[in-house]
Chain A
Amino acid sequence: MREESVPVAHAARPRETRHRAWPLRVLAGLASLRLTLALIALLGIGTVLAFRLEGARTWPMVVPLALLAGNLLAAVATNAVFRRQTWLLVFHLSLVALLLLVAAGRLTYLKGMVGVTDGATFDGRLAAEERGPWHFGALDAVRFVNAGFDIDYAPGLQRGATRNQVLWQAADGHWEQAVIGDQHPLVIAGYRFYTTFNKGFAPTFRWQGADGASLYGSVQLPPYPLNEYSQALEWTPPGSRTPVWVMLDIDEVVIDPGQHAAFRLPTRYRLVLRVGTARHLLQPGDSVALADGTLTFVGLRTWMGYQVFYDWTLPWLLAACAVAVVSLAGHFWKKFAARPWDA
């Protein structure tokens, strides 16, 4: 809150203000408290617009925030009240720092999604992502293994705690392990991996090509139990050029909605593999010959969907917020302590 500055300054030195050089007059105008009010209102309008226009959120926020930053800096440069009230100065400077950090974060962030099958290694590639234009991170080099998960369910299929075992190789080469889940992401090289409600079953296959090369791959079926009745997907095995259609036909209640339960693999199921017009029912160990090799169903596993987030500014944002709120509280404390509340 910038206080009693502009009215007092204007009242005390109107003639002096009129005779200032034009850059100073512009700066004084830019520092106006009235402009601050108008810009707060503009930011409110921008917030509503950004909320409603999902595809055009940048400019409705950037314009008022940039103008507010200019207004704050001009006020700090020209307004004597900031030199008298340190708390107030620190508060407004931390607001400017906050704006700059948010801008830096938006330029360098990364946000994405990836599914990793139980026992498989994250290979640095994301299924979907968005990133700032200056994101030059090292996600390609990040590796971790999904070592399986447990999820509790309350009656009514209400999801409880997620506990996901993960392994990763530290910088010194030795393997580390941890349990991640709700509130506890895996953080590697600044990239934060969060478990999500997207998880399900992943039939796993071994592909034996005509050239003798052997590869493993899994098809991550749609999230379960969200898509309980559509457990099917078209998939091309790694190393093959022949698309196949895979369907998991579950013949039991995997998560009983009537009682407390846990996510688990089904024990009674049929795996349907369709290649062109040919339809095959597979059990673990069964193979199907395709035009360019042999596909063997190894077994059923689970997969976990991870949200990936990178923003190096996070600790700095927290620090700027802490400084802002402490200085704001300090300013009001000093101001209000001068007179009792029940005066």
Chain B
Amino acid sequence: MERELQILWIAIVAYVLAGVLAVIGVALGKRPQRTILGLMCAGLALHALSIGLRWERLGHGPFVTLFEILSSNVWSLMLAFAFAYWRIPRIRAAAAVVMPLLFVMMGWLMVAHPGEGHYPATYSTPWLYIHIGLGKVFLGAVLVAVGISGVILLRRAGIGGQRLAQMPQDRQLDELAFRCMAIGLVFHTLMLIAGAIWAQDAWGRYWDWDPLETWAFITWLTVAFTLHARVTFRISPAAHATMILAVFVIAFLTFFGVPFISAAPHQGAV
């Protein structure tokens, strides 16, 4: 386990360096984009190695403990953002918003106990990977939308100076954020369907008002509400960005709060 944790620490250092460079780049108007992308990719490779070693040792994936869930989500969120960073160069300055958000999760990960947990029998199904994988794509898409929304709001607040001002106009960023939220809605829908199929097979019901499934549905409603509101009221980019941040907060609390504070845990853990 020592080696896994050491590799994880090195990966976190790479992520933090990438994030610090991104923030400094925006503050000073620099563009160290290749270095940032390189650090992100190095961090992702090392992090994947750490997760793989743990998987090999325990015989199951990172799905059980808070440490494992945080670790796998930091990895998947970094992967989603690194992909957007690579494919959409014009939004790269959004890293200055996204990386500090991920620092919070990394800090949480570093203080979480890395001990192992019991792998429930009901987790031995392909639906586990499908359900969780779809959820990770949803969160990743929303995270990219949050980064773009953060740029819109920072610019409006007069923060970020020249580097943020060089990014596309608010309307274009707003359209990109909308696209990310639309992808998020599709994958969140798929995640709910996969979860319902799994629950029906494992526990004989596709819906049972479990706190996590209920809050996941509420998150779905907030995404649908946000997309509909943009279409119906033609709201300003700033208002849309604020709504996206609200969706992210609800999604974050649903994914990382409810499972760990609920007295009636998600049935998967029983």
A158 to B120, CA, bound (A): 8
Identify which of B125, B172, B190, B231 contacts A3 (C-beta below 8 A): B231
Identify which of A2, A111, A156, A161 contacts B118 (C-beta below 8 A): A156
Identify which of B89, B122, B197, B205 contacts A309 (C-beta below 8 A): B205
Asked whether B229 lies within 8 Å of A183 as measured between CB atoms, the reply is no
0/1 interface trace, chain B 179-192, chain A, CB 8 Å (1 if under): 10011011001100
Query: For residues 237 through 296 of chain A, which have their beta carbon under 8 Å from a beta carbon of chain B?
Result: none
| Known contacts A44-B221, A342-B89; is-contact A6 B232 (Cβ 8 Å) | yes
Nearest residue (CB) in B for A340 is B88
Asked whether B204 lies within 8 Å of A160 as measured between CB atoms, the reply is no
A343 to B88, CA, bound (A): 9
Does A143 belong to the interface (CB within 8 Å)?
no
| Known contacts A182-B121, A314-B200, A332-B186; is-contact A342 B87 (Cβ 8 Å) | yes
Does B17 belong to the interface (CB within 8 Å)?
no
Asked whether B197 lies within 8 Å of A40 as measured between CB atoms, the reply is no
Query: For residues 224 through 247 of chain B, which have their beta carbon under 8 Å from a beta carbon of chain A?
Result: 224-225, 227-229, 231-234
Nearest residue (CB) in B for A311 is B206
Chain A min CB distance to B270 (Å)? 8
Asked whether B227 lies within 8 Å of A1 as measured between CB atoms, the reply is yes
Identify which of B90, B182, B186, B218 contacts A48 (C-beta below 8 A): B218
Does B132 belong to the interface (CB within 8 Å)?
no
Asked whether A160 lies within 8 Å of B121 as measured between CB atoms, the reply is yes
Which B residues are CB-close (under 8 A) to A211?
A: none
Which B residues are CB-close (under 8 A) to A181?
A: 121
Chain A min CB distance to B179 (Å)? 6
Chain B min CB distance to A306 (Å)? 9
Which of B22-30, B157-165, B209-217 sits within the interface? Answer: B209-217
Which A residues are CB-close (under 8 A) to B129?
A: none
Which A residues are CB-close (under 8 A) to B204?
A: 111, 185, 192, 194, 307-309
Which of A121-129, A168-176, A215-223, A317-325 sits within the interface? Answer: A317-325
Which A residues are CB-close (under 8 A) to B209?
A: 50-51, 54, 57
Which A residues are CB-close (under 8 A) to B234?
A: 7
Asked whether A325 lies within 8 Å of B228 as measured between CB atoms, the reply is no
A57 to B193, CA, bound (A): 21
A317 to B200, CA, bound (A): 12
Asked whether B231 lies within 8 Å of A328 as measured between CB atoms, the reply is no
Chain B min CB distance to A30 (Å)? 15
Asked whether B87 lies within 8 Å of A341 as measured between CB atoms, the reply is yes
Asked whether A162 lies within 8 Å of B189 as measured between CB atoms, the reply is no
Identify which of B222, B229, B231 contacts A2 (C-beta below 8 A): B231
Which A residues are CB-close (under 8 A) to B202?
A: 182-183
Number of interface residues of A (CB under 8 A): 53
A226 to B205, CA, bound (A): 23
Which A residues are CB-close (under 8 A) to B227?
A: 1
Nearest residue (CB) in A for B222 is A44
Asked whether A328 lies within 8 Å of B185 as measured between CB atoms, the reply is yes
Asked whether A183 lies within 8 Å of B122 as measured between CB atoms, the reply is yes
Which A residues are CB-close (under 8 A) to B233?
A: 34
Chain B min CB distance to A69 (Å)? 15
Asked whether B232 lies within 8 Å of A161 as measured between CB atoms, the reply is no
Does B35 belong to the interface (CB within 8 Å)?
no
A54 to B224, CA, bound (A): 26
Does A159 belong to the interface (CB within 8 Å)?
yes
Which A residues are CB-close (under 8 A) to B270?
A: 197
Asked whether A1 lies within 8 Å of B193 as measured between CB atoms, the reply is no
A6 to B189, CA, bound (A): 26
Does A166 belong to the interface (CB within 8 Å)?
no
Does A37 belong to the interface (CB within 8 Å)?
yes
Asked whether B172 lies within 8 Å of A343 as measured between CB atoms, the reply is yes
A81 to B217, CA, bound (A): 27
Asked whether A40 lies within 8 Å of B224 as measured between CB atoms, the reply is yes
Does A43 belong to the interface (CB within 8 Å)?
yes
Which B residues are CB-close (under 8 A) to A51?
A: 209, 211, 214
Which A residues are CB-close (under 8 A) to B186?
A: 325, 328-329, 332
Chain B min CB distance to A280 (Å)? 39
Asked whether B201 lies within 8 Å of A324 as measured between CB atoms, the reply is no
0/1 interface trace, chain A 1-39, chain B, CB 8 Å (1 if under): 111101100000000000000000000000001101100
Does A47 belong to the interface (CB within 8 Å)?
yes
| Known contacts A328-B186, A341-B176; is-contact A4 B200 (Cβ 8 Å) | no
- Give 16 pairs: A residue, B residue, CB < 8 Å, sorted on A: A2-B228, A4-B231, A7-B232, A7-B234, A44-B221, A47-B214, A51-B214, A183-B201, A307-B204, A317-B206, A318-B193, A321-B196, A322-B193, A324-B189, A328-B185, A332-B186
Q: Which 8 pairs of residues, A with B, have the shortest CB-CB distance?
A: A194-B204, A158-B118, A33-B232, A307-B204, A182-B121, A309-B204, A161-B121, A51-B214
Known: A2-B231, A44-B218, A182-B125. 4 other contacts (CB 8 A): A44-B222, A182-B202, A336-B182, A343-B172
